[in-house]
């Protein structure tokens, strides 16, 4: 990963906290010069998800081969045979465009990226109003079974405990406030407010 080394912005949270909405908003702010890091996953696409846009959908076998080849910056088996990870080539692709990288990534992956690039990573944890609110949001999505939702809720409690390990925490009680807070964090980290 030579030449341009941009900043890395990691947004992590339990599923349903609003991190994807915040990341999409930040991507639209041209002044930040961001590009989205597309994660790889071994799971099947959901709804209208597109390969190479939402995720790189790869088979379980190919995913495991890429782990052996050390092709990932970070990876995790989030649920049984459901792997997610960040390919090294993804960060290289974005830096070659002279852009900063923004991640919408699970908590474990986010902390691993922060550990690999401590000097140029801002890690942000997006905290939901409550676990009950998370459950309501996940049900509204109508993309997953009750079992999957319950698995996500169980995982959320563990993820919430990691919040203090992140550089910053955004409490997403009010989306407009959370978006402004995210913009302010980005501006500060990029030195716009100096």
Report the CATH fold assignment for 8-189: Rossmann fold (3.40.50)
Q: Is the pLDDT of residue 155 over 90?
A: no
pLDDT category, 1, cuts 50, 70, 90?
very low
Q: What is the pLDDT of residue 3?
A: 66
Q: State pLDDT tens for residues 131-148.
A: 787 778 777 777 778 888
Among 22, 54, 60, 49, smallest CA distance to 37 is for: 54
CA 53 from chain center: how many Å?
14
d(CA 28, CA 134): 25
d(CA 171, CA 181): 9
């Amino acid at each position: 990963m030579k030449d341009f080394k941009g900043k890395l912005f990691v947004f992590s949270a339990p599923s349903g906290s609003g991190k994807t909405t915040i990341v999409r908003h930040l991507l639209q702010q041209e002044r930040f010069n961001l590009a989205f890091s597309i994660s790889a996953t071994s799971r099947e696409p959901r709804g209208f998800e597109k390969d190479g846009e939402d995720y790189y959908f790869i088979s379980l076998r190919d995913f495991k081969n890429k782990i052996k080849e050390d092709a990932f910056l970070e990876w995790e088996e989030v649920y049984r045979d459901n792997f997610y990870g960040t390919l090294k080539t993804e960060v290289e692709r974005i830096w070659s465009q002279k852009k900063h990288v923004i991640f919408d990534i699970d908590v474990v992956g986010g902390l691993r990226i922060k550990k690999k690039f401590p000097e140029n990573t801002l890690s942000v944890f997006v905290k939901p109003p409550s676990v009950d609110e998370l459950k309501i949001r996940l049900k509204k999505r109508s993309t997953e079974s009750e079992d999957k939702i319950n698995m996500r809720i169980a995982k959320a409690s563990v993820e919430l405990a990691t919040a203090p390990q992140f550089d910053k925490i955004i409490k997403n009680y009010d989306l407009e406030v959370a978006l402004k807070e995210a913009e302010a964090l980005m501006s500060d980290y990029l030195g716009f407010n100096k």
